[in-house]
Amino acid sequence: DDSPFIIHTTVWFSMRAVLSILMLTVLSTSFRVPRPAYAKAFQRKAQRTLSTTTSLPSTSLDNTPVAESASHKDFDTIKTYFIKEYGCYGTLYTHKRTKCEVLSLKTDDTNKVFGITFTTPNPASTGVAHILEHSVLCGSRKYTTKEPFVELMRGSVNTFLNAFTYPDRTCYPVASQNLKDFRNLVNVYLDAVLFPRCVKDPNVHAQEGWHLEVDKEGQLAYKGVVYNEMKGVYSSPDSLSNRECQRSLFPDNVYGTDSGGDPLDIPNLSFESFRSFWEEKYNPANAKVFFYGDDPEEERLDLLTGYLNDYADEWGESDARSAVSWQPKRFESPSVVRGKYPVGEGGGKDYVTVNWLLNDEPITGVESLKLNVLDHLLMGTTKSALRKSLSDSGLGEDVTGGGLSDELLQATFSAGMKGVAGEEGVENVQGVIEETLQRIAQEGFEEDDVKASMNAIEFQLREFNTGSFPKGLSLMLGSISGWIYGKDPVENLVFESALSELKADLEARGGEVWTEAVKKYLIDNTHKSVVIMNPDSEMEAKVVEEEKARLKAIKDGMTAEEVKEVERKMEELKELQAKEDSAEDIATIPTLSRSDLNREVEEYPLTVTSDFDGSGVTVAASHMPSTSGVVYATLGVDVSGVPLDDAPLLPLFCRVMMETGAGQYDDVQLSRRVNTYTGGVSASFSMMGVKPDGVAADVVGDGGRMLTKVFVKGKATAENTGEMLDIFRLVLTESNLDSKQRIVEMLRESKSRAEAAIQGSGHSYANSRLKAGYTVGGYLDEMMGGLSYYESVKSLLDMAENDFDQLRGKLENIRAVMLEAGKCRDGMILNVVAEDDAMSKADADLKSFLHSLPGDSKPSSTFQDFYKEDHPWTVAARSRMTGLKNEAIIVPTQVNYVGSGGRVYSEGESMPGSASVVARHLRTGYLWDTVRVIGGAYGGFCTLGQGSGVFTYLSYRDPNLAVTLDAYDAAADALMEQAENLTEEQLQTAVIGAVGDLDAALSPDQKGAVQFRRWLSGESPEDRQKYRLEVLNTNKDDFVAFAKRLKALNDKAVAVVTSKGMAEEAIKAGKEMEIVEIF
């Protein structure tokens, strides 16, 4: 687990109001909420999955009050619903005393969801809503530990537990498949938001928001979790650009402020203002409550009314509601805004983004759907009209803006580029955008492009595949995006009427629908801004010096007594943070017991057939109870014959397969075909460690046994399976490897995205850098996805620009090696997931596809047995490993990402499942308390490699460097002390949390994919069951044993992503590190 351990996130989701909340969650199988980074309205996923088709079963909407709702004495029933799109019965209630509105949806989904959302606009950038979102979960009336939320995370089997702040609302959602656990979560959340400790205890505001400290030199310093989080945000060029784009369009309403908090403004938030904001915004009348799942509705209302009545008894009844005012579309000409972003001494290039405010009054459902289709036509895929024009221009390194954002009261549209050279380039990018839109307004879109985009969106809506993300939460967020603005709470969830109306309009008016929309919303819309961000190599130093000067001025204005008061409060806070919760306080937290847990691993159906139908290809089929008529297919092709030196080309090769055209289709035509007939086709490279044959699954290795494959993945209705598989064959065998311009663009994009990721997710790069020193598997992972891969991308870009023939030759060799006729089918595997009826309908197409693949059905040679022999890459890589290093990787940043680690289990040792329980306990206990709570980092956590035995400590957006490394050094002793005094209750909590990590809620296609990966890994059901029982049976001795291993760790290494100034300070403090400047 390399993800930062973070509870709260300030987010503008890349989800759309109206229909788009549903679309995006099905658009990408890698969709995660929340992102471990602050996001603004103008951000979108950098890459979108091509997603389409038409013929999923149609549904219809009936909002007639036919559902039988629960009657409750404390609630008025306002309306009932039956939403056929999702099979939900629903009821809208209002609590009689508090006027709180409640939407209760009843389904047979066992993954139950609850959420409470408050409307929280704030006219300043102090981050009060964001800080309050962190703070209310730090103790409450009934749940009196310092952080009940963390206690829940330690001992819950939740499928979602988080909180996030939008620019105008704050959401607190939970989900669980276990009814007892679900009610525990709901109780803690309701008590937290309605009766929080933080409004009575200024120390919570100080810890989560900001406070002053006096450092060792006697100087003042700002500290606080949100303060440091936002310093990290303001170190990111993308975030700074997004912030300016938002501000530029909303000069008159709350969307022009930063709900996350500007580090310059956060210290202006007093405790009194913090408390007043809670009093004003967190009243039930200003809240929307959502329930979803198979739990009894009467019991939902009984639970809720207890808290609402208690609130009215303690705080009084109020019908005060907050509202967001409209930003008038008042610009008569575009507003030009210039800003700066920090870069290293190597310099940087410009950003330019053109933005429009689309509406200043409500828009209808059909108009919103039209905007979503228009967005898909303009920016939805790499071949969409505007996105392609920008990419093909060669004026920058990557497309920015992301197109449509309509999850708030008012919709916006943005497009631009980053990595643009100089003022002339900036002007030219604007020219490309203007010329493309003018051309579309005159000529319209190709009819086939419109058909493809309509099919894409209709497929997404009808499939409604949210993966492991709870469906109920997708529905909640979609509902809230209109509900808080006065819409009916289900209006944004239904789509049949709008879809029919848009289809009828297209039938009647054809392309005029789109030319009219482009003119209305973009060309003739003068409420527009142009945001230009210029690089500044001195900005980082200026920000640091300005903060020092500001703090010096504050101290100079203080008396000696006032400085002592700062020191007193600092010590008081640290004592509170270091103080253990009492047994009585911990006992207030509701928990499960081990008896509530399932002791058996859930296995999913998978039938593996070698030489299927005489094709020479292995087929792994998962027959699921229902996949809504969709067939999910994945073809794996072995690439172990590719030379190790060319391995970094494989991610590029996979992009080329999908983005440069294939056979008779150019790039646009290929994209159109994918969108017309399938729900998405993609290609990716995978490097997967496997269990060595004859070796127990729990024995630690060095990663030498592995599979390397290119996977082509797609989904389609059973009727269109043949089209999907033909696309598989086409991109595999006939992709265009000769598109120099597009390949150069891809590499520029990869370079730009890697640079942004290193700055924003430095913990991940530090982690891979650490692991590279211990095992050959870690070395190869870093080579294919870490800093080494970034260096490879730069070299490949130079080759593409200056010696394309050489690069093309390497790509051609990869394809030739993959498809070697006498061998390739021996290494091919097709995974198919579908319900029985869809599988039967697709059977003939599957067999035809297998026989059409390149290679001989009776291979003349075979691949080595990768479960018995080391992979060729690992043999070559071992000689290149250089050993352990302590490295400080320098980037422009105001925060640190601090990593350290070593190998707690040596090669050949058995590592039991209990080790994961102990590591998780350390992550949610000592590291959380020491690195995050006391140290002020946004995240403090650790990882344990199940197959490698490598253990790493990591921090995320950390104000400290040397101090955090010291905390890591003290972790083993702290764990030993905890282990020796571990209570049965603490042990049970640790086990429950670890089991919760094992039991995700999965969609049918995910279940098939999980079982497929299990089979590929060489694990047996018995291996998995043994591991689960070791987790369940973890005892105190296991904690002591792991602590001893951690204490004995000698071959430690350090990797940090930091600024040069902070690295030099740490070196002066005695930390040995080699400075590595990468930009």
**Distance set, CA 890 to CA 492, 1063, 1078 (Å):** 46, 8, 7
Beta strands in 744-847 (DSSP E): 829-835
Which of 1025, 968, 686 has its CA nearest to residue 831? 686
Q: Per 3-state DSSP, what percentage of the chain is helix, strand, and coil (rounded to 5)?
A: 45, 20, 35
Q: Could you confirm whether 208 is annotated as catalytic?
A: yes
Q: Could you confirm whether 562 is annotated as catalytic?
A: no
Classify each residue of 241-274 as buried b or exposed e, where b means 16 or more C-beta atoms within 10 Å of its C-beta. bbbbbbbbbbeebbbbbbbbbbbbbbbebebeeb
DSSP state of 171: E
526's enclosing H/E stretch is none
Helical pair 914-922 and 1036-1047, crossing angle rounded to 10 deg = 70
Helix (H), strand (E), coil (C) string for 567-586 = HHHHHHHHHHHHCCCCHHHH
Q: Distance between CA atoms of 249 and 245, rounded to whole angstroms?
A: 7
Helical pair 914-922 and 1021-1032, crossing angle rounded to 10 deg = 50
Q: Distance between CA atoms of 501 and 498, rounded to whole angstroms?
A: 5
Q: How many helices (H) and strands (E) does the chain have?
A: 37, 28
190's enclosing H/E stretch is helix 179-194
Which of 865, 990, 870 has its CA nearest to residue 923? 990
Distance of alpha carbon 981 from its chain centroid, rounded?
37
Structure tokens at 469: 């993300």
Q: Distance between CA atoms of 15 and 239, rounded to whole angstroms?
A: 18
Q: Burial of 346 by CB count in 10 Å (0-12 exposed, 13-18 middle, 19+ buried)?
A: exposed
Strand partners, 638: 709
DSSP state of 266: G
Q: Distance between CA atoms of 902 and 898, rounded to whole angstroms?
A: 14
Which of 68, 59, 61 has its CA nearest to residue 90? 68
Structure tokens at 965: 């490394």
Q: Distance between CA atoms of 240 and 703, rounded to whole angstroms?
A: 40
Which of 40, 13, 18 has its CA nearest to residue 28? 13
Which of 1068, 756, 1054 has its CA nearest to residue 889? 1054
CB 412, CB 16: distance < 8 Å = no
Distance of alpha carbon 61 from its chain centroid, rounded?
32
902's enclosing H/E stretch is strand 897-903
- Please identify which of the residues 147, 151, 208, 782 carries the catalytic annotation: 208
Q: Three-state DSSP class for 887?
A: strand
Which of 174, 138, 133 has its CA nearest to residue 260? 133
Residue type (1 letter), 139: G
- Please identify which of the residues 85, 133, 229, 540 carries the catalytic annotation: 133
Helix residue spans in 911-1055 (DSSP H): 914-922, 962-969, 971-980, 984-998, 1004-1017, 1021-1032, 1036-1047
Helix residue spans in 950-1003 (DSSP H): 962-969, 971-980, 984-998
Which of 391, 509, 380 has its CA nearest to residue 444? 509
Q: Distance between CA atoms of 777 and 166, rounded to whole angstroms?
A: 40
Enumerate the active-site residues.
Answer: 133, 208
